[in-house]
Amino acid sequence: MRVLCLVMALFLLLAAPLRAQDRFETLAAGLSGGFGAQVETVERLGALGDARALPLLQALGEGRLQKRADGTLLLEQDGTVVEAVAGTPAAPGETVRINNRVRAALRGALGRLQLVAPQEGARLQAADGLFRSRSADNIPLLEQALAREAAPLVRARMELALAASRLVAADEAARRQGIEILSGSGSAEARSLLLEARAANPALAAPIDAAIAAIDARLQIRQAAETVFQGLSLGSILLLAALGLAITFGVMGIINMAHGEMVMLGAYTTVMVQEGFRGVPWLAPWSLPVSVPAAFLVTAAVGVALERGLIRHLYGRPLETLLMTFGVGMILQQAVRLLFGAQNREVVSPAWMQGTLALPGDITVTQNRLWIILFALVVLGLAVAAIRFTRFGLEMRAVVQNRRIAATMGIRTGRVDAMTFAFGSGIAGMAGVALSQVDNVSPNLGTGYIIDSFMVVVFGGVGSLAGTMIGAFTLGIVNKLLEPWAGAVLAKIAVLVGIMLFIQRRPKGLFALKGRAAEQ
Amino acid sequence: MSATTAETPRLRPTRALILRGLLLAGLLILALLPLLNRLPPDHALHASDFIVSVSGKWMCYAMLALAIDLAWGYAGILSLGHGAFFALGGYAIGMHLMRLIGPRGVYGHPVLPDFMVFLGWTELPWYWWGFQFFPFALLMALAVPGLLAGLLGWLAFRSRITGVYLSIITQAMTYALMLAFFRNDMGFGGNNGFTDFKELLGMKLNTAGARAALFYAALLSLSGAVLLCRHLTRSKLGRVLVAVRDAESRVRFLGYSTVSVKLSVFVLSAMLAGLGGALYVPLVGIINPGEFSPGNSIEAVIWVAVGGRGTLVGALLGAFSVNAVKTWLTSFAPDLWLFALGGLFVAVTLFLPRGLIGLMRKGEER
């Protein structure tokens, strides 16, 4: 049977546009006949599996198929009429009418024909439809379609549908085959199908149980992979939010409680850039990439003003700095609230960030989360490079290690302080751009992140960017691992408590600075 | 700790006398308020209901300020989570008030509060047992904050977590508690918290008599707290506290157990805050998880900073004056209040490190 099908398909594909056209044409002519003839024709066209029948049948269903007095079929499309088979323009004719019996036949035929439709999406949908409405009658149809199918994704779905149909076949060997194929898939749908089949086939209980176990194992792996991805996603957000803090707090030792507001300002810069670009069509898709440097500059400028204007006067008094910057954060928040309103602002994701990406093993990830993970890593890389390899980074490290010696070497420590603080603030602004994609942009956007950020920095080890990264990803993944059985809020609380206990054992965090710098 | 906060406040006798006089006058005015409220409304000295209820609230805030001052001003422990102790005390009394509603709730259940009936619960959770007795609830209002502070403090002080780290941990604590209390299945009314209280100790809560009684209870507690703190800070323990604040390791080397000194004052401070909360809830008639928000705690810290930390009068002064400005400003320009509060944070830390009391002392030393 299969061989025959293959041969037939090959035949159809290679040699026979002519012959197929013949059959298709002769068959299609039947559509202009009476209702009985129409039903027969529709069924035959469906069984023929020629994709050209698809527009014809669709037109019939939608009342767009017309016929001339001589029986020639005409197709009306968007107000113009063409000859259905030849495709040449023609004068309009009489609409072909159908009744409910024809409609029922059409539904079945269309479902089968979709399997060979030229659009991949349509074929995918058809395969999924057959998977759900499984019946032994579909087996030859699916086998036929599979033989022609080239797209791997569609093939996989068709195989699943075929296996599902085989499960309800009369032949036991076919059912066994179906079970085997289903056990190789990792979908919850296949699992429920198998459960159903198990009740119907007591004789096949053993292979079905084995298949279910195999599916469960795959499902678990997939779930674990998705949890890890979610954790990485949360971790990347934490990393972005905490990275700036790791520089201002970790390196400079400034407690900046307005850090969350810097993130918020970055998000609002994104909103502003987007609004500005809205009128210019060719610029609009670039609003997000442009927002990144814009947010950096805006928040860095605010950072310089804050450091030079206020924080500088409180060096050496961390508790006062904490209170003062909290006040600054309040003022910034209220200012933004008055300027932009308290309601959430919407930031549109560009097309290349939307949608999901399917990874092998049925794992799907949302694109924007993936971009944010990448973005976080790039920003981290840039920050590390700036500190390691640039003149500014060198001066910064020198000032942190020994301010007075650095000053005697001719480094303008005040300027370095301002630059470092601006750098940390700017990174917070860039974090805001990323957060605008996943969170509501509102004036209190930052307050939700400030405590988490401090926890990440303290957990990872103050003064260590690598520690911040590992801390952020660890916390993100632990949070997501706990979530399924503790709920989002309890997971968060558990993480907070866990960090408090962790600090007991390692007060300096995961990656403690050693040596003289740690003593200060 | 830095050296700028180094000295114990020592006022010159005359100024100390003025301050003490002001304090007493303030207490006297407060004591007279409910009586003035009874005067006919057109009388020149009539105190409106609003004034009475607001000053009752402020007295509870003042207890919170006192508690923060004790920990921060004297022992150098800047807690950004004292609002949590305040709220826990409030929740303890709130639970008692909820139990007293009894069958008068909307659903008319004899034991369960409305929100539990609403959630479909059939039994009172174990942690609600005993709250029908006022002494137990009052004990819990002190014990729960005290125990929490004890646990947190023991963990933190033992591993010598000080300064900013401690502040952030306490902030995380109140944040975590806020998240927890927002959950419905915690059994504390979730988002809405507790409200619609009916009576306390046999008094109907919305009568003038009950309001006056609660007012005097707050006044008495506040005065008691001031006396207790005054006694404490002038005792030997108080001096050790200040020494710990200014040079902890030196005190340790002298043979004091700084952990137990700090721990005891932190616990006491938390209990004071809890008492403040316990008085606050019957006065305002509502408690919800918003009280745990980190912003509340840090706002309370700024009261102390404005008044002048390290002086008991300063804490009271700060709590009353900042809240007075807040009430006044939010009544006609609510948008401005957050600017004013933020500006207060900046101005006080930059220009008034010792608060309003520091202004009075200007030119006295150095």
Task: Measure the CA–CA gap between A443 and A428, rounded to whole angstroms.
Answer: 15
User: Listing from the earlier edge strand, what are the strands of the sheet with A80-83?
Assistant: A80-83, A73-77, A65-67, A94-95
- Residue A178, token pair as written in the block: 């179906």
Closest CA to B66 of B259, B265, B216, B211: B265
A and B: number of Cβ contacts within 8 A: 113
State how far residue A400 is from chain B, nearest Cα, in angstroms.
19
Chain segment B340-350, per-residue pLDDT in tens: 888 888 888 88
In DSSP terms, B126 is beta-bridged to: none
Burial of A410 by CB count in 10 Å (0-12 exposed, 13-18 middle, 19+ buried)?
A: exposed
* Eight-state DSSP code of residue A251: I
Domain ranges of chain B: 51-293
Which residue from A minimizes the CA distance to B73?
Answer: A319
Q: Is A204 in the B-facing interface, judged by CB distances under 8 Å?
A: no
Per CB-CB distance under 8 Å, the chain B contacts of A313 are 350
Strands A73-77 and B194-195: unpaired
Q: Could B345 and A322 be called an inter-chain contact, meaning their C-beta atoms sit closer than 8 Å?
A: no
Q: Could B182 and A321 be called an inter-chain contact, meaning their C-beta atoms sit closer than 8 Å?
A: no
Answer whether residue B49 shows pLDDT above 60: yes
Mean pLDDT across the stretch A304-316?
A: 87
Band the pLDDT of B143: cuts 50, 70, 90.
Answer: very high
Place of tokens 């674990």: A224
DSSP secondary structure of A121-151: HHHHHHHHHHHHT--TTHHHHHHHHHHH---
Beta carbons within 10 angstroms of residue A3's beta carbon: 7
- Which one has a higher pLDDT value, A197 or B226? B226
- The predicted structure's pLDDT at residue A79: 73
Q: Could B339 and A335 be called an inter-chain contact, meaning their C-beta atoms sit closer than 8 Å?
A: yes
Chain segment A21-59, per-residue pLDDT in tens: 567 777 777 777 778 888 888 877 777 767 777 777 778
State how far residue A288 is from chain B, nearest Cα, in angstroms.
31
CB neighbour burial string for A187-218, b if at least 16 within 10 angstroms, e if fewer: beebbebbeebbeebeebeebbeebbebbeeb
Answer whether residue B366 shows pLDDT above 50: no
Largest CA distance in chain B: 68
Mean pLDDT across the stretch A206-233?
A: 82
Per CB-CB distance under 8 Å, the chain B contacts of A493 are 176, 179-180
- Residue B276, token pair as written in the block: 């403040």
Q: Could B346 and A328 be called an inter-chain contact, meaning their C-beta atoms sit closer than 8 Å?
A: yes
Q: Which CATH architecture has domain A221-519?
A: Orthogonal Bundle (1.10)
Rounded to 10 degrees, the C-alpha dihedral B353/B358/B359/B364 comes to -120
Beta carbons within 10 angstroms of residue B361's beta carbon: 16
A509: left (phi over 0), alpha (psi -120 to 50) or beta: left
CB A362 within 8 A of CB A187: yes
Helix and strand numbers (H, E) in chain A are 22, 6
Answer whether residue B80 shows pLDDT above 70: yes
Per CB-CB distance under 8 Å, the chain B contacts of A519 are none
- The predicted structure's pLDDT at residue B9: 54
Task: Measure the CA–CA gap between A93 and A31, rounded to whole angstroms.
Answer: 14
CA angle (B309, B310, B311) in 5-degree steps: 90
φ, ψ (nearest 5 deg) of residue A348? -85, 135
Which residue from B minimizes the CA distance to A500?
Answer: B169
* Eight-state DSSP code of residue A346: P
CB A126 within 8 A of CB A46: no
Helix and strand numbers (H, E) in chain B are 14, 4
Q: Is A341 in the B-facing interface, judged by CB distances under 8 Å?
A: no
Task: Measure the CA–CA gap between A182 and A204, rounded to whole angstroms.
Answer: 14
Contacts 24+ apart (CB under 8 A), A198-204: A201/A175, A203/A172, A204/A172, A204/A175, A204/A176, A204/A179
Task: Measure the CA–CA gap between A491 and A475, rounded to whole angstroms.
Answer: 10
- The predicted structure's pLDDT at residue A21: 54
Band the pLDDT of A8: cuts 50, 70, 90.
Answer: low
Q: CB under 8 Å to A219, separation ≥6 — which residues? A: A186, A188, A191
Supply the angle between the helices A188-200 and A172-183 in degrees, to the nearest 10. 150
CB B30 within 8 A of CB B219: yes
- Residue A264, token pair as written in the block: 């918020």
ipTM of the complex: 0.84
Domain ranges of chain A: 221-519
* Among A331, A447, A487, beta carbon nearest to B343: A331
Q: CB under 8 Å to A127, separation ≥6 — which residues? A: A115, A142, A145, A154, A157, A158, A160, A161
Which residue from A minimizes the CA distance to B156?
Answer: A504
Answer whether residue A18 shows pLDDT above 70: no
Answer whether residue A394 shows pLDDT above 80: yes
Residue B79 C-beta-side C-alpha neighbours within 13 Å? 32
CA distances (Å), origin A76, targets A34, A39, A57, A66: 20, 21, 12, 7
**pLDDT, chain B, mean:** 83
Chain segment B153-206, per-residue pLDDT in tens: 888 888 777 777 888 888 888 988 888 888 888 888 888 888 878 777 777 777
Q: Is A323 in the B-facing interface, judged by CB distances under 8 Å?
A: yes
- Which one has a higher pLDDT value, A243 or A448? A243
- Residue B319, token pair as written in the block: 């709590």
Task: Measure the CA–CA gap between A262 and A311, rounded to whole angstroms.
Answer: 15
Per CB-CB distance under 8 Å, the chain B contacts of A444 are none
Percent of chain B at pLDDT exceeding 70: 94
Q: CB under 8 Å to A309, separation ≥6 — which residues? A: none
